[in-house]
Amino acid sequence: MLQEQTQNWTKEYLKDNEMFYPAEYVVRMFKGNYPRLNLKKEADGYMGKSICDIGFGDGRHLALFKSLGFDRIAGTEISQDVVDKVKKSLEHVASLDLRVGINNNLGFEDGAFDFLLSWNVCYYLDDKMDFKTHVEEYARVLKKDGILVFSIPCKDCFVYNNGIEKDGFMTIVDDWFGLRNGSIQKVFQDEEDIRNTFGTHFKDFTFGRIDDDCFGLAYKWFIGYCRKK
Protein backbone atom coordinates (compact mmCIF):
# COMPACT_ATOMS: atom_id res chain seq x y z
CA MET A 1 0.00 0.00 0.00
CA LEU A 2 2.87 2.41 0.75
CA GLN A 3 4.24 1.92 -2.76
CA GLU A 4 0.82 2.69 -4.25
CA GLN A 5 0.49 5.84 -2.12
CA THR A 6 3.96 6.95 -3.19
CA GLN A 7 3.04 6.52 -6.84
CA ASN A 8 -0.27 8.39 -6.42
CA TRP A 9 1.23 11.38 -4.64
CA THR A 10 4.27 11.53 -6.92
CA LYS A 11 2.00 11.63 -9.96
CA GLU A 12 -0.06 14.40 -8.37
CA TYR A 13 2.90 16.58 -7.44
CA LEU A 14 4.61 16.11 -10.81
CA LYS A 15 1.67 17.67 -12.63
CA ASP A 16 2.58 20.92 -14.31
CA ASN A 17 0.58 23.00 -11.81
CA GLU A 18 1.13 26.60 -10.91
CA MET A 19 2.63 27.23 -7.49
CA PHE A 20 0.10 27.08 -4.68
CA TYR A 21 -0.05 29.68 -1.92
CA PRO A 22 0.85 28.64 1.64
CA ALA A 23 -1.96 27.11 3.68
CA GLU A 24 -3.90 29.90 5.38
CA TYR A 25 -3.61 28.49 8.87
CA VAL A 26 0.12 27.85 8.52
CA VAL A 27 0.48 31.57 7.80
CA ARG A 28 -1.80 32.40 10.72
CA MET A 29 0.09 30.19 13.14
CA PHE A 30 3.57 31.43 12.24
CA LYS A 31 2.71 35.11 11.72
CA GLY A 32 -0.44 35.74 13.76
CA ASN A 33 -0.99 36.98 17.30
CA TYR A 34 -3.92 35.35 19.10
CA PRO A 35 -5.05 34.97 22.73
CA ARG A 36 -3.45 31.51 23.01
CA LEU A 37 -0.87 31.73 20.24
CA ASN A 38 2.16 33.81 19.34
CA LEU A 39 4.79 31.38 18.08
CA LYS A 40 7.25 34.07 17.06
CA LYS A 41 7.25 35.54 20.54
CA GLU A 42 7.37 32.16 22.28
CA ALA A 43 10.31 31.06 20.12
CA ASP A 44 12.12 34.37 20.66
CA GLY A 45 11.89 35.04 16.94
CA TYR A 46 12.66 32.91 13.89
CA MET A 47 15.97 34.47 12.87
CA GLY A 48 18.72 31.88 12.86
CA LYS A 49 16.30 29.06 13.68
CA SER A 50 15.84 25.77 11.79
CA ILE A 51 12.64 24.17 10.51
CA CYS A 52 11.68 20.98 8.68
CA ASP A 53 8.45 20.72 6.66
CA ILE A 54 7.43 17.06 6.74
CA GLY A 55 5.62 16.18 3.52
CA PHE A 56 6.28 19.53 1.85
CA GLY A 57 4.27 18.59 -1.26
CA ASP A 58 4.64 21.31 -3.88
CA GLY A 59 6.86 23.35 -1.58
CA ARG A 60 4.23 25.95 -0.79
CA HIS A 61 5.54 26.73 2.71
CA LEU A 62 9.28 26.83 2.05
CA ALA A 63 9.55 30.36 0.65
CA LEU A 64 7.33 31.56 3.51
CA PHE A 65 9.80 30.19 6.03
CA LYS A 66 12.65 31.94 4.23
CA SER A 67 10.76 35.24 4.45
CA LEU A 68 10.21 34.71 8.18
CA GLY A 69 13.94 34.52 8.79
CA PHE A 70 14.58 30.82 9.31
CA ASP A 71 18.23 30.03 8.68
CA ARG A 72 17.99 26.31 7.90
CA ILE A 73 14.95 25.23 5.91
CA ALA A 74 14.55 21.51 5.31
CA GLY A 75 11.81 19.15 4.23
CA THR A 76 10.84 15.62 3.28
CA GLU A 77 8.73 14.02 0.58
CA ILE A 78 8.03 10.46 -0.39
CA SER A 79 9.92 10.26 -3.69
CA GLN A 80 13.09 11.66 -5.27
CA ASP A 81 11.11 12.84 -8.29
CA VAL A 82 9.06 15.21 -6.10
CA VAL A 83 12.18 16.40 -4.27
CA ASP A 84 13.91 17.16 -7.56
CA LYS A 85 10.93 19.05 -8.99
CA VAL A 86 10.53 21.28 -5.95
CA LYS A 87 14.27 21.97 -5.78
CA LYS A 88 14.12 23.14 -9.38
CA SER A 89 10.98 25.25 -8.93
CA LEU A 90 12.43 26.91 -5.82
CA GLU A 91 15.95 27.54 -7.07
CA HIS A 92 15.50 31.17 -6.00
CA VAL A 93 15.14 30.09 -2.35
CA ALA A 94 18.70 29.58 -1.21
CA SER A 95 20.02 26.61 0.78
CA LEU A 96 16.98 24.34 0.91
CA ASP A 97 17.75 20.89 2.33
CA LEU A 98 15.11 18.63 0.77
CA ARG A 99 15.26 14.85 1.17
CA VAL A 100 13.22 11.71 0.66
CA GLY A 101 11.63 10.66 3.94
CA ILE A 102 8.47 9.39 5.61
CA ASN A 103 6.97 9.92 9.05
CA ASN A 104 8.96 7.18 10.77
CA ASN A 105 12.20 7.77 8.85
CA LEU A 106 12.88 11.46 8.25
CA GLY A 107 16.53 11.06 7.33
CA PHE A 108 17.94 13.92 9.41
CA GLU A 109 20.34 13.92 12.34
CA ASP A 110 19.29 13.84 15.99
CA GLY A 111 18.28 17.21 17.42
CA ALA A 112 18.50 18.93 14.05
CA PHE A 113 15.58 21.36 14.25
CA ASP A 114 13.96 24.06 16.34
CA PHE A 115 10.63 23.51 14.53
CA LEU A 116 8.84 20.71 12.74
CA LEU A 117 5.78 21.35 10.58
CA SER A 118 3.54 18.33 10.03
CA TRP A 119 0.60 19.79 8.13
CA ASN A 120 -1.90 17.12 7.08
CA VAL A 121 0.86 14.50 7.26
CA CYS A 122 1.55 12.78 10.59
CA TYR A 123 -1.38 10.36 10.46
CA TYR A 124 -0.36 8.64 7.19
CA LEU A 125 0.88 5.15 7.99
CA ASP A 126 3.19 2.78 6.19
CA ASP A 127 2.65 -0.97 6.01
CA LYS A 128 3.93 -1.46 9.57
CA MET A 129 0.90 0.34 11.05
CA ASP A 130 2.94 1.57 14.03
CA PHE A 131 2.09 5.17 14.86
CA LYS A 132 4.30 5.40 17.94
CA THR A 133 7.33 5.31 15.65
CA HIS A 134 6.09 8.58 14.08
CA VAL A 135 6.04 10.24 17.48
CA GLU A 136 9.48 8.89 18.32
CA GLU A 137 10.97 10.04 15.03
CA TYR A 138 9.49 13.52 15.30
CA ALA A 139 10.97 13.85 18.78
CA ARG A 140 14.34 12.48 17.66
CA VAL A 141 15.00 15.20 15.08
CA LEU A 142 13.77 18.06 17.30
CA LYS A 143 15.97 19.89 19.76
CA LYS A 144 14.95 19.87 23.42
CA ASP A 145 11.90 22.14 23.79
CA GLY A 146 11.64 22.26 19.99
CA ILE A 147 8.19 22.99 18.62
CA LEU A 148 5.99 20.64 16.59
CA VAL A 149 3.25 22.42 14.61
CA PHE A 150 0.55 20.08 13.33
CA SER A 151 -2.83 19.63 11.70
CA ILE A 152 -4.88 16.45 12.07
CA PRO A 153 -8.36 15.76 10.65
CA CYS A 154 -11.32 15.46 12.99
CA LYS A 155 -13.40 12.32 12.64
CA ASP A 156 -16.11 14.22 10.76
CA CYS A 157 -13.65 15.76 8.28
CA PHE A 158 -14.49 15.09 4.63
CA VAL A 159 -11.31 12.99 4.31
CA TYR A 160 -13.03 10.24 6.31
CA ASN A 161 -16.36 10.21 4.48
CA ASN A 162 -17.70 6.62 4.59
CA GLY A 163 -14.37 5.43 5.97
CA ILE A 164 -14.02 2.17 7.85
CA GLU A 165 -12.78 2.66 11.41
CA LYS A 166 -11.24 -0.09 13.50
CA ASP A 167 -9.02 0.02 16.59
CA GLY A 168 -8.03 3.66 16.14
CA PHE A 169 -7.33 3.42 12.42
CA MET A 170 -9.36 4.55 9.42
CA THR A 171 -9.40 2.98 5.97
CA ILE A 172 -10.14 5.61 3.33
CA VAL A 173 -12.74 4.49 0.80
CA ASP A 174 -14.37 7.66 -0.57
CA ASP A 175 -11.64 10.24 -1.07
CA TRP A 176 -12.90 13.32 -2.89
CA PHE A 177 -9.54 13.75 -4.64
CA GLY A 178 -9.14 10.08 -5.55
CA LEU A 179 -5.64 9.87 -4.07
CA ARG A 180 -6.11 8.22 -0.68
CA ASN A 181 -8.54 5.36 -1.33
CA GLY A 182 -7.32 2.16 0.28
CA SER A 183 -4.84 3.95 2.54
CA ILE A 184 -5.02 3.48 6.31
CA GLN A 185 -4.58 6.43 8.63
CA LYS A 186 -4.35 6.94 12.36
CA VAL A 187 -7.63 8.55 13.49
CA PHE A 188 -7.98 10.64 16.64
CA GLN A 189 -11.17 10.93 18.67
CA ASP A 190 -10.51 14.34 20.25
CA GLU A 191 -7.81 16.66 21.55
CA GLU A 192 -7.24 14.47 24.59
CA ASP A 193 -6.51 11.51 22.33
CA ILE A 194 -3.88 13.56 20.50
CA ARG A 195 -2.39 14.74 23.78
CA ASN A 196 -2.19 11.21 25.16
CA THR A 197 -0.73 9.73 21.97
CA PHE A 198 1.99 12.36 21.52
CA GLY A 199 2.47 12.89 25.24
CA THR A 200 5.10 10.18 25.54
CA HIS A 201 7.58 12.62 23.97
CA PHE A 202 5.82 16.01 23.89
CA LYS A 203 4.36 18.52 26.36
CA ASP A 204 2.66 21.93 26.57
CA PHE A 205 -0.07 21.29 24.00
CA THR A 206 -2.01 24.23 22.56
CA PHE A 207 -5.00 23.53 20.31
CA GLY A 208 -7.11 25.40 17.81
CA ARG A 209 -9.75 24.12 15.43
CA ILE A 210 -10.74 24.58 11.78
CA ASP A 211 -14.46 24.03 11.21
CA ASP A 212 -15.40 25.13 7.70
CA ASP A 213 -18.06 24.17 5.17
CA CYS A 214 -16.03 24.72 2.02
CA PHE A 215 -18.78 24.57 -0.59
CA GLY A 216 -19.87 21.10 0.44
CA LEU A 217 -16.61 19.72 1.84
CA ALA A 218 -16.37 19.59 5.62
CA TYR A 219 -12.93 21.02 6.40
CA LYS A 220 -12.63 20.05 10.06
CA TRP A 221 -9.18 19.82 11.59
CA PHE A 222 -7.41 19.86 14.91
CA ILE A 223 -4.53 22.33 14.65
CA GLY A 224 -1.95 23.18 17.25
CA TYR A 225 1.55 22.89 18.55
CA CYS A 226 3.51 21.25 21.35
CA ARG A 227 7.08 21.06 22.61
CA LYS A 228 9.54 18.20 22.84
CA LYS A 229 10.07 17.06 26.41
Whether pTM > 0.85 for this model: the answer is: yes
Q: Which pLDDT band holds residue 17 (cuts at 50, 70, 90)?
A: low
pLDDT of 14 > 60? The answer is no
Q: How far apart are CA 137 and CA 194, in angstroms?
A: 16
Strand 202-214, strand 169-171: pairing = unpaired
Over residues 110-125, the pLDDT tens digits come to 999 999 999 999 999 9
Over residues 194-204, the pLDDT tens digits come to 999 999 999 99
- Whether residue 103 contacts residue 121, with contact meaning beta carbons closer than 8 Å, is answered with yes
Q: For residue 35, what are the contacts with CB-CB under 8 A and spacing of at least 6?
A: none
Give the per-residue pLDDT at 21. 86
Give the per-residue pLDDT at 149. 98
Nearest to 194 by CA among 146, 228, 162, 226: 226
